Structure 1
Amino acid sequence: KLLVLRDDWGYCQPCLSPVWDTGLAAHAMLESGLTNDDPILAKANEWLLGRQIFEVQGDWAANRGHVRPGGWAFQYWNDYYPDVDDTAVVVMALHRADPEKYREAIERGTEWIIGMQSINGGWGAFDADNNHFFLQNLPFADHGALLDPPTADVSARCLGMLAQLGYETDHPVMAKGLAFLRSEQEKEGSWFGRWGNNYVYGTWSVLCAFNAAGENMQARHIRKAVDWLKYVQRPDGGWGEDCSTYWQYRRDEVKTSTPSQTSWALMGLMAAGEVDSNSVARGVEYLLNAERDGGNWHEEYFNAVGFPRIFYLRYHGYSAYFPLWTLSRYRSLKKTNSKFPKYGL
C-alpha cells in the first residue's frame, strides 16, 4: 500500500492516514448537512470507534504513566503511538454526530488529552513535556526534528475540542492552554503550523479554538491575525504558502494559491466573524472557480509536514474535504445569518 506505481511514474508513501482522513472527512460531511443517520457517516463513526486505544500504554506513558489510554492513532493500527491531534479531531466529530451515543468514547478520549497537557499549557502531538531543545544540537540530530514540543496548531485542536464539549475558560486546563496560544503568536499576527503548511494552517487552527472558547474576537491579538490573513491573500482570491516558509528567511514565499490553504484561511476568517467580509467572498469565489473533478479540487503541491525543512507530505484528501467543509460552512453561516461557527474546528 505504501508504494504506488503507475505506467511511467510512481511514489512511496511514508505511511497511511486513515484515522486522520476519516475524522476530517466526517467533519466535512456533517458541515454539509449529513447526520449520523446517514449510512455512510454512521459506518465511518463505527469504524472510528473500533480504532480507539483503551489498553496499550505507549511511549507517551514515560512522561504520563498515571494517565489511562484513550486516544486514536494516525494509521490503521499504531497503538503505541496515538496522538492528541487525531484524538481531538475524532472526538469532535463523534460529539457533533451524536454526543450521547458516543459518550464513552468521547469521555475517554477527553481524559487522555487532558492528561497529555504539558506544563507550559500546550500540547505536543505524541508526548508531553518533550521539549529538551539542547538535544537538537547533537550531531545526529541536525535535521532539527528530534523532539515533539507543544505547538500552536496541536494545542488549538485540543482546546477547540474541550470548548466544544463545554469546558469554560476558567477551567485550569483551558486557562493554561489559551495563555499558551496567546504567547505563541508571531509578531505579524500569525501562528506557526507544525503539521500543515504553515502559518495559514496554524492561524486557522488557533482562530477556531479561540472562537469556540468564547474569546473576544475583536481583541487585539485576534484582529492582528485577521489582518495578517487578509494581507497574505493573493490577487486571485486564494491563499497559498510554500514549504520553504519553514526557513525563517523564506517565510513569505508562495508558488500559487491552493484549495486546501484557501479553505484554512477562509475557515480562520469565518471563525473570527468575517463571513461577510470582502476577503471571504473573494476566497469563496476562488474555490467555486478553481479546477476540479467533481468533488475533488486539483492540488499539485505538498500541503503538510513530516519534519520541517526535511520532508513534506501531500494529503490527497485535503483538496476534497477541506473545500467541501469550507463552502458548507459559508453557506450555513449566510443562510442562518450567523456570524460565528459553533464548533471547535
Structure 2
Amino acid sequence: MASVRFSIQNEINRIVNKLKNEQSPDGSWRYPFETGISTDAYMIILLRTLEINDEDLIKALVERIESKQQSNGAWKLFYDEGEGNLTATVEAYYALLYSGYRKKSDKNMQVAKRKILEMGGIERVHMFAKFMLSLTGQYPWPKFFPIPVEIILLPLSFPINFWDFSVYGRANLTPILILADNKYRTKTRRSPDLSDLFVSRCKDDDYWRWLQTDRPFFSYIKQGLKSFIGLSQYIHSAAIHHAKQYMLNRIEPDGTLYSYFSSTFLMIFALLSLGYPKNHPIIIKAVDGLKSFACRINGYPHMQYTTATVWNTSLVSYALQETGVPSTDPVIEKANRFLLLRQHDRYGDWAVRNPYSLPGGWGFSNMNTINPDVDDTTASLRAIHKFAIKEPLFRQAWDRGLNWLLSMQNDDGGYAAFEKNVNKRILRHIPIQGAEFILTDPSAADLTGRTLEFFGKFTNLSKHHPTIQRGVKWLVNHQEKNGSWYGRWGICYIYGTWAAVTGMISVGVTPKHPAIQKAVKWLLKIQNNDGGWGESCKSDIEKTYVPLGVSTLIHTSWALDALIAIFDEPIPEIQAGIQFILRSAERKDWTTSYPTGQGMAGGFYIHYHSYQYVFPLLTLSHYQKKFENFYV
C-alpha cells in the first residue's frame, strides 16, 4: 500500500501544479465549455447574415468545423453516435457554404450532402435548427405556431402562463415568439441554396412534424386571453412590446441575453424583425459578446455556448483546498476574491416564484448577474467556506448565499437548477421538441444530492432539519428500480448516483440504508474489467443506463467517490478503480474528450475541460483521507 500512497500523492501533486499554473491573472480558471460545432456554424451564419466580414474568424471556424467531419461525411455529437447527427451535419454544411470558402462541388461537401439525404433530409433536423433555417430563408415557417406571443400577457393566476416556462425556455422562446409571429426571414447575396437537401415535397406545415397537433394548448391559451384581456390588435402589439422588453431588460453587461449563445443569436434576429438596423448598437454589442465566448481548442477557435468561468473557478478552488492547499495560498486567495465579485446582488426571474428571498446566489458564466443557479451557489460556497470563518466580507457573502439556497428548495423536497416550482407537467406535452429539457426546471437527483452534500459537510444544519429530511425523502422516492439515479446535467446515471449517494451519506444516512445498498450493487455491477466505469450519452436519450463499452476518467472518478463515501475500508473494487485513475492520468484518446455534461437529450452535450482534473483530484484526495490508516 505504501507504493499506492506514493503514486496517489504524485498524481495529486501533478494535478495541483497544473491547476496552479493554469490560473488566469484575475484568479479564475477559464477551461473550455465545449459543445461540438453547432455554435461555430451559427457564428458563421450570423456574421454572414449581418454582413460583418470578420474573415479571419470565419476562415478559422471553417477549419475547425471541417476538422470534426467524419469519413462518412457526417458530424457527430459524441463518439458512439452511430452514423452521425443529422442536425449537426446540416448546420455544418450550411455554415461551410455560407462562409463562401467552400463549394457544393468540394469532395467533402458532396459526401456531406449524400449523408444528409441518406439520413432523411433537411426536414428531419431538430426543431430549433428549423427555426434558424426559417429565419435565414432556407425553410418554410409553419402557418401555425402552438404558443401565441400573447401568452406573455397572461397573469400568474392563469393555470398556464409565461412564468411557468423555465428561465432557459423563456430566454429562447421569447425571440422565437416574435419571429414566428411575423414569420421573419432574411437572406443576403451570399446566402446558399439548400433546397436540394429536401427529400420530400410536401406542404409547408408537414415539414414541422413536431408542431402537428389538434391545437388544444393553443386553444386553451386563446380562451384564457379572451377571458382575461380580450383579443385585439392593441393586445397583440402590447404582447410584442412586452416580449421585446423582456429581452432588452435581461441583456448582460457583455451584450448577450442571459449569457447564452442561442438566446442571443435569436434575440438579434428578433430585433431585426422589429426593424432594428444591422448596425444598431445593441446588435453590434451582442455580436461582440458572442465573440468574447471564443476559446482555443487544439489550435482552432471554438465559439462556446457560454463560458463556465464561475463553475470552473469554484470547482478548482474547492478541489485544491481538499488536497490540503491552504486557504492562505495566493492561488486560493485570488480565486475566492474573484468568486466574491461574481456573487449576485440583483433580482432575477427566480424571484417571481421565490419573492421573499434576497439575492445571494452565483451564476455559471463569467458575465452573469441575474441568473443564479443552485449548483454554482453550492460550489462557490464550498470554495469560500474557510474564508467565511475569518473574514467579515466573506461571512456576509456566505450568509446571503446560504439563505438564498435554503429558499430555493422546491415544494416536493428536491432542488432544481434555476428556479423554484417550475415543473408543470402539461408543459412537457406542448409540441416543442425537447420540451422536457427546454421548458421545465424540475427537481433533479444531481442537484438535490449535491445540495445535501453541501449542507452535510459545510453547514451546522442538523440531519433532522426539515430541509435535509425533505431532500433525502425526495431522493429515496426518485431512485430507479436498478438502484441508480438519473442525473439531469451530466452523463448520466453514474453522475446522478454519485451525487445522490454522497449527498445522503453526508447528511447522516447510514450506508446500510436500502437505497444506499441498492446503489452499491448497481455501481459494482456496471464496473468494467479494467477497474473503471464509462457511460454513453445514449443513456439520456433512451432514459436507461447505456454502457459506453470503455472506461472514462471522469465516470470512474464519480463512481469511486460514491463508493469511498460508503465503505469504511478500500474494497478490491475501489482499489481497482484507483489503479485505473493512476494508469489513465495522462491518457490522450477519444475518451478524454467524451462529453460528460448534457443540456438536452439527443441535441446538446458538453465536454468540460476542467473535469479531467477536478474530479480525479477530489476522488484521490477523498480516498487518501479516508483510508490513510490502511497504508503500510
Q: TM-score, normalised by structure 2?
A: 0.51
Partner of 1:37: 328
Q: Which moved more, 1:262-271 or 1:324-333?
A: 324-333
- The code of the aligned residue for 2:407 comes to G
Task: Give matches, 1:324-343, under 5 Å.
Answer: 324-336=617-629
Task: Give matches, 1:189-208, under 5 Å.
Answer: 189-208=483-502
Contact 1:36–1:98 (8 Å) recurs in 2: no
Determine the C-alpha separation between the residues in 2 that align with 1:318 and 1:271. Answer: 20
Determine the C-alpha separation between the residues in 2 that align with 1:116 and 1:65. Answer: 10
Identity of aligned residues (%): 35
Contact 2:434–2:601 (8 Å) recurs in 1: no
Secondary structure of the 2:535 match is coil
Change in Cα spacing, 1:293 to 1:265, as seen in structure 2 (3 Å) is closer
Partner of 1:307: 600
Partner of 1:259: 553
Change in Cα spacing, 1:203 to 1:7, as seen in structure 2 (3 Å) is closer
Q: Does 1:241 align with 2:535?
A: yes
Determine the C-alpha separation between the residues in 2 that align with 1:30 and 1:7. Answer: 30
Partner of 1:174: 468
Determine the C-alpha separation between the residues in 2 that align with 1:273 and 1:59. Answer: 42
- The code of the aligned residue for 2:361 comes to G
Determine the C-alpha separation between the residues in 1 that align with 2:617 and 2:533. Answer: 16
1:72-106: CA deviations, max 9, x gaps? 00011212210011101111222256534332222
Q: Does 1:162 align with 2:162?
A: no
- The code of the aligned residue for 2:520 comes to V
Shift of 1:268: 0.7
Contact 1:36–1:97 (8 Å) recurs in 2: yes
Shift of 1:300: 2.0
Q: Which of 300, 306, 317 is residue 26 of structure 1 equivalent to?
A: 317
Q: Does 1:52 align with 2:366?
A: no
Question: Structure 1 regions of 5+ residues with no counterpart?
Answer: 339-345
Determine the C-alpha separation between the residues in 2 that align with 1:76 and 1:11. Answer: 17
Q: Does 1:187 align with 2:481?
A: yes
Shift of 1:271: 1.1
Partner of 2:375: 85
Q: Which moved more, 1:246-255 or 1:180-189?
A: 246-255
Determine the C-alpha separation between the residues in 1 that align with 2:540 and 2:560. Answer: 22
Q: Which of 419, 427, 435 is residue 127 of structure 1 equivalent to?
A: 419
Shift of 1:117: 0.7
Change in Cα spacing, 1:90 to 1:337, as seen in structure 2 (3 Å) is farther
1:284-338: CA deviations, max 9, x gaps? 00010015179xx971211101122321100001001211221122122222569
Determine the C-alpha separation between the residues in 2 that align with 1:335 and 1:303. Answer: 30
Partner of 2:389: 99
Partner of 1:64: 354
Change in Cα spacing, 1:95 to 1:125, as seen in structure 2 (3 Å) is same
Change in Cα spacing, 1:9 to 1:103, as seen in structure 2 (3 Å) is closer
Change in Cα spacing, 1:227 to 1:150, as seen in structure 2 (3 Å) is same
Contact 1:35–1:97 (8 Å) recurs in 2: no
Change in Cα spacing, 1:278 to 1:337, as seen in structure 2 (3 Å) is closer
Determine the C-alpha separation between the residues in 2 that align with 1:82 and 1:103. Answer: 19
Determine the C-alpha separation between the residues in 2 that align with 1:228 and 1:309. Answer: 25
Change in Cα spacing, 1:249 to 1:219, as seen in structure 2 (3 Å) is closer
1:218-240: CA deviations, max 9, x gaps? 11110110111111111111111
Determine the C-alpha separation between the residues in 2 that align with 1:286 and 1:143. Answer: 39
Change in Cα spacing, 1:223 to 1:49, as seen in structure 2 (3 Å) is same
Q: Which moved more, 1:90-99 or 1:143-152?
A: 90-99
Partner of 1:284: 578
- The code of the aligned residue for 1:158 comes to T
Aligned length: 335
Determine the C-alpha separation between the residues in 1 that align with 2:300 and 2:435. Answer: 28
Q: TM-score, normalised by structure 1?
A: 0.91
Determine the C-alpha separation between the residues in 2 that align with 1:264 and 1:8. Answer: 30
Shift of 1:248: 3.0
Shift of 1:281: 0.3
- The code of the aligned residue for 2:316 comes to A
Contact 1:198–1:241 (8 Å) recurs in 2: yes
1:45-77: CA deviations, max 9, x gaps? 1111111112x1101111001111100000112
Determine the C-alpha separation between the residues in 2 that align with 1:5 and 1:37. Answer: 32
Determine the C-alpha separation between the residues in 1 that align with 2:541 and 2:351. Answer: 33
Secondary structure of the 1:140 match is coil
Question: Structure 2 regions of 5+ residues with no counterpart?
Answer: 1-291
- The code of the aligned residue for 1:85 comes to D
Partner of 2:609: 316
Q: Which moved more, 1:96-105 or 1:231-240?
A: 96-105
Determine the C-alpha separation between the residues in 2 that align with 1:142 and 1:202. Answer: 20
Change in Cα spacing, 1:254 to 1:98, as seen in structure 2 (3 Å) is same
Determine the C-alpha separation between the residues in 2 that align with 1:230 and 1:97. Answer: 38
Partner of 1:342: none
- The code of the aligned residue for 1:150 comes to S
Change in Cα spacing, 1:30 to 1:53, as seen in structure 2 (3 Å) is same
- The code of the aligned residue for 2:432 comes to F
Secondary structure of the 2:316 match is helix
Contact 1:60–1:126 (8 Å) recurs in 2: yes
Determine the C-alpha separation between the residues in 2 that align with 1:64 and 1:212. Answer: 27
1:164-194: CA deviations, max 9, x gaps? 2021122111111111111111111111111
Determine the C-alpha separation between the residues in 2 that align with 1:100 and 1:188. Answer: 45
- The code of the aligned residue for 2:622 comes to R
Contact 1:194–1:308 (8 Å) recurs in 2: no
Shift of 1:2: 2.8
- The code of the aligned residue for 1:262 comes to T
- The code of the aligned residue for 1:235 comes to N
Structure ID, larger Rg: 2
Q: Which of 522, 525, 543 is residue 228 of structure 1 equivalent to?
A: 522
Contact 2:532–2:576 (8 Å) recurs in 1: yes
1:230-287: CA deviations, max 9, x gaps? 1111111111111100123663231421111111111111111255111110010001
Shift of 1:142: 4.0
Contact 1:95–1:106 (8 Å) recurs in 2: yes
